[in-house]
Chain A
């Protein structure tokens, strides 16, 4: 994409930045008053995710691409570090909480594995995963902005058909629990890190300071998410609820879907978005990314890329597939990979392997679809 920067004709930076911070605080306060303090806190946590992800350039799709193409493991090592920090606290805490906290636990199955593979492929096409698409949209990336509504529609559609897919066959939920679960997870994370380091080019066997800081911040925010909401950080469910609300507004009958007709799902669709945890953190991520892009000198002055029509069509298809496949996979890089592994679910590990294999294919597809210059 073009990175040409044009002259930024905005007002005094201090006034502009003060207004941005004030607007964010007013937003949090408004949600706390209108919906409840817990929901205001969740929006604040979401803002923190957005600020950290965009401000420190911490992502998922980019580091996987760097490893696949250039054998640079720094970003993936940071992801593993963040997951490790969360797991050592979250896995024992969930067991001791007596049901007040739940993990991101889901069964490993055929549809789950296929969904993760397709998600990995699609996230490399648009260079954005679950959180990445929100960050990209918030920071003015037109590919992210176009992909996001189709991501939401895909998430709604995937959930609509979810029970049909799970009937293809799945194992029971397998979890690593308590202190032993935390130790198993840490050992496995260390093993994966060693594998990536062995694959890395010798000059790249490091982790940058920026990534370490980002990993610690993201881990703390993920733990706050768990403790405040009672459930781990997720993205895709909230996007599906947005589309479900839109679908019902235009007269779509949800009774044809076992998922959306279930009482718990109906309650979410009929309740305010400001009381849905994943919606609140999603809103926060997008808004936080916007704040950073506005704050950063030249952040919003980059010219928009000129892409061929097939690139925009590919973005629409990939956006839909991101949403659809991640519902089949019981989450995206956040809800399945990050939160799944860090709360002891086997499906997080299987998701990681399948999505990484899909990413290898997606990296090859991206230039063919006109989303970057062919090498």
Chain B
């Protein structure tokens, strides 16, 4: 057995996660933010490793 098996397995699991999530929580492209945060006029938002929720 080679790394091909584990690499393909890893990718398959990753894309299964994405597809399952897409079905359960479909994104809404009509609510998309500005293309780039810098210059958007909007405060940064989104989860990050260092941030503690209020």
Chain A's nearest CB lies how many Å from the CB of B9? 7
Binary A-proximity of B8-25 (CB < 8 A = 1, otherwise 0): 111100100110011011
When distances are taken between beta carbons in the complex, the residues of chain B under 8 Å from A270 are 25
Interface centre among B5, B24, B48, by most chain A C-beta atoms within 10 angstroms, is B48
Among A36, A139, A331, contact of B33 (Cβ-Cβ < 8 Å): A36
When distances are taken between beta carbons in the complex, the residues of chain B under 8 Å from A238 are 47
CB pair A100–B37 under 8 Å, yes or no, is yes
Q: How far is the CA of A105 from the CA of B49 in the complex (A)?
A: 9
CB pair B38–A230 under 8 Å, yes or no, is yes
- Residue A187, interface by CB 8 Å: no
Interface centre among B6, B8, B14, by most chain A C-beta atoms within 10 angstroms, is B6
- Known: A101-B37, A137-B10, A302-B3. Contact between A265 and B44, CB under 8 A? no
B contact residues, range: 35 or more
Binary B-proximity of A335-370 (CB < 8 A = 1, otherwise 0): 110011000010100000000000000000000000
Q: How far is the CA of A242 from the CA of B5 in the complex (A)?
A: 23
When distances are taken between beta carbons in the complex, the residues of chain A under 8 Å from B51 are 106, 237
CB pair A35–B27 under 8 Å, yes or no, is yes
Chain B's closest residue to A97 (CB) is B38
When distances are taken between beta carbons in the complex, the residues of chain A under 8 Å from B49 are 104, 106, 234-237, 278, 326-327, 330-332, 335-336, 339
Q: How far is the CA of A67 from the CA of B22 in the complex (A)?
A: 43
Binary A-proximity of B26-54 (CB < 8 A = 1, otherwise 0): 11010111111111111111111111111
Question: What is the interface of chain B mostly: helix, strand, loop, or mixed?
Answer: loop
Chain A's nearest CB lies how many Å from the CB of B21? 5
CB pair A101–B44 under 8 Å, yes or no, is yes
- Residue A41, interface by CB 8 Å: yes
When distances are taken between beta carbons in the complex, the residues of chain B under 8 Å from A104 are 48-50
When distances are taken between beta carbons in the complex, the residues of chain B under 8 Å from A34 are 22, 26-27, 29
A contact residues, range: 35 or more
- Residue A193, interface by CB 8 Å: no
Q: How far is the CA of A293 from the CA of B43 in the complex (A)?
A: 38
CB pair A271–B25 under 8 Å, yes or no, is yes
Chain A's nearest CB lies how many Å from the CB of B15? 9
Chain A's nearest CB lies how many Å from the CB of B47? 5
Q: Which one of A176-184, A206-214, A282-290, A308-316 is at the B interface?
A: A282-290
Chain A's nearest CB lies how many Å from the CB of B34? 7
Q: How far is the CA of A339 from the CA of B49 in the complex (A)?
A: 10
Chain A's nearest CB lies how many Å from the CB of B49? 3
CB pair A37–B32 under 8 Å, yes or no, is yes
Within 8 A of B (CB), among A106-135: 106
When distances are taken between beta carbons in the complex, the residues of chain B under 8 Å from A326 are 49
CB pair B50–A99 under 8 Å, yes or no, is no
When distances are taken between beta carbons in the complex, the residues of chain B under 8 Å from A199 are none
When distances are taken between beta carbons in the complex, the residues of chain B under 8 Å from A231 are 37, 44, 46, 48
- Residue A300, interface by CB 8 Å: yes
- Residue A190, interface by CB 8 Å: no
Among A276, A294, A345, contact of B47 (Cβ-Cβ < 8 Å): A276
Binary B-proximity of A76-107 (CB < 8 A = 1, otherwise 0): 00000000000000000100010111101110
Interface residues of B (CB under 8 A from A): 1-11, 14, 17-18, 21-22, 24-27, 29, 31-54
Interface residues of A (CB under 8 A from B): 6, 33-39, 41, 93, 97, 99-102, 104-106, 137-142, 145, 148, 162-163, 166, 227-232, 234-238, 241-242, 245, 249, 259, 262-265, 268, 270-278, 283, 286-287, 290, 293-294, 299-304, 326-327, 330-332, 335-336, 339-340, 345, 347
- Beyond A38-B32, A101-B44, 4 extra complex contacts between A and B, CB < 8 Å: A39-B27, A99-B43, A245-B25, A262-B53
